[in-house]
Amino acid sequence: MTTKLYKNAADALEVLESGQRVFIHGASSTPLRLIEGLVGHADRLRNVEIMHLHTFGDACYADQRYAESFRVANLFVGGNMRPYYDGDRVDYLPCFLSEIPALFRSGQRPIDVALMHLSPPDKHGFCTLGCSVDVALEALLTAKTVIAQINPRMPRVHGDGFVHISRVDHYIEVDEPIPEVAPAILGDVELAIGRNAAGLIEDGATLQMGIGGIPDAVLKALHGHRHLGVHTEMWSDGLLDLIEAGAVDNSRKKTHRGKTVSGFIMGTQRVYDFIDDDPSVIQARIDWVNSPHEIAKNPKVTAINSAIEVDLTGQVCADSIGHRIISGVGGQMDFIRGASLSQGGKPIIALPSRTRKGRSRLVSALNSGAGVVTTRSHVHYIVTEYGVANLFGRTLNERAEALIAIAHPDDREQLSREWREIRAS
């Protein structure tokens, strides 16, 4: 099919048909104008399944008024999807991030139409997937039809995300800002967690971190470190501070030495300006980035992930509050395992000792319905603002004692009592 330019999203999306499966590019590459065009066709469409990771903007296609037109199989339930999640019409598909490309390739959930957000073609005709290569590359490569919005403000990012314009069937041109994520405001709890976690990180370590207060606090505490490397699912402004400070130079990595490697990037315009056409920044397909085998090739891989709650045996719930899904499996297990297999690696789960409502996040038993994202046998380090518990090589009782010691002081007696009752039962 010949690549065709349209004046607006509504016209470009005329090819959509009822019963199709539509993938939407996610994170900072969310194609907002194409989503508007998609919703504009709701009256004529029926039973269209939408799939995506975290997206930005108002996910109005998930609203009940479009129930006959659209249903959603979330690969990650972001903040904009949580109000709509009902476990039926708007559902969640649990899958390791590293395995989602294989899901698309397998034909078990084939993509009919991929809605993408691309940087403009260069003189050779190559666009890039910009801020989000992750699973989007495989969705684009396997989709029967590719529809794109091409935006001069989308960074041109090196790595696996180059796409020749001839692979795009229909496109529109837009000129609008890329969605931004402001850095988290760090409180005393986050800063204390950051210092405790940073104490585990050695010079020359290869880092994996997420986004938010705790990852930013850890990164803030690493400015005195040297020769750090980055092989991570994603990164944001907190890491850029470390790169500019000289703490990150990627000089000790075994794969892509000298390069900051990730699957997607979310941050402020400052980050987008930095990554634009910078050959030291590589965006790669997520089945490679998140492969435990590839992760483990680097030295001293230190994976920093968070959790909603952790029980006293070390089971980690990171995707739900009870039965209510609030995020997804993501790549936590990919990196926890990869870090544990790395020479000198350290898998870390870092979390506040309490919720904002004062409930302990270290619990004798997970909430009913809570999903175990990381098993007790995979967990090594648990970090709170009160210290570090190394669970590797410890019995269940030794683990419980170590975790109670880093719980909020006001919760320790209750946790000890509950643990004694569990042992006695």
Residues carrying an active site annotation? 233
Q: Residue 15 in contact with residue 48, Cβ under 8 Å?
A: no
Taking the C-alpha atoms of residue 34 and residue 24, their distance in angstroms, rounded to an integer, is 9
Burial zone of 150 (CB within 10 Å; 0-12 exposed, 13-18 middle, 19+ buried): buried
Q: At what angle do helices 213-220 and 237-245 cross, to 10 degrees?
A: 10
Cα dihedral 167, 173, 177, 180 sign? negative
The residue among 372, 355, 370, 353 whose CA lies nearest residue 314 is 372
> 3-state DSSP call for residue 32?
helix
Q: Which of 415, 365, 352, 344 is nearest to 194 (CA)?
A: 352
Nearest one of 2, 72, 60, 7 to 32, comparing CA atoms: 60
Tokens linked to 48: 């269209």
Alpha carbons 394 and 364: distance in angstroms, whole number: 17
Residue 198: in which H helix or E strand, if any? helix 188-198
Contacts for 391-396: CB closer than 8 Å, 24+ residues apart: 391/314, 396/312, 396/313
Between CA 306 and CA 322 the distance in angstroms is 17
Query: How far is residue 76 from each of residues 90, 164, 285, 335, measured CA to CA in Å?
Result: 12, 28, 17, 17
Q: Are 167 and 18 in contact (CB under 8 A)?
A: no
Structure-block tokens of residue 16: 């959509």
